[in-house]
Amino acid sequence: MGAIGRGIVGLGLTAMLALSGGPVMAAGNPKAPIIGVWQTADKSQVTIAVCPEDYCGTLTRVAPDPVAYAKMSAAEKKRADAQDPAEFLDTKNKDAKLRTRSLVGIRMFTVHASDKPDTFTGTLYNPGDGGTYDGSMRVESPTKLLLSGCMFKVLCKSQEWTRLK
């Protein structure tokens, strides 16, 4: 994968098959439209859909690490832009058997409705370090989600996602 994919999907929250053309309200949570395609802070895309466990986020497009990309020469950027998304591998996964799988198509998180109508909680996978963390997703507006993941409930990071049309 190289430097291009190392920082992708930030918290791994970034991380979904659109069921319809517009936003769909989450079952039992009518004020929280989370189903759809969302762009992460690093320009990757995650699709949130209903799944047997409640709501799942699947990485559907991987963007190169923006910091590494900015440092590339024009020739390196051209090669990176032409890179097959299947070449972005889950190299940091804690399970060595999964390190050769493509990041495209992996489940980034599973969340459940909480007692707050705009908040979902669950587990979040971070391909940047191969860890799975407790986290939450809060609907800020119809076009903004705020995702937060914590390690040991004290080391937390957040990231804002934008709904794609």
Residues 7-26: pLDDT tens digits? 433 434 333 222 222 333 34
8 A C-beta contact, residue 45 and residue 85:
no
| pTM (2 d.p.) | 0.73
Residue 133, domain CATH: 2.40.128.520
State the pLDDT at residue 79.
82
Enclosing H/E stretch for 82: helix 74-82
Residues 47-73: pLDDT tens digits? 999 998 789 999 998 887 777 788 888
In order, the DSSP letters of 85-108 are GGG-B-TT-SSGGGTTSBSTT-EE
Enclosing H/E stretch for 71: none
- Provide the domain limits for residue 148: 2-163
Overall number of domains in the chain: 1
Q: Tokens 């705020």 appear where?
A: 146
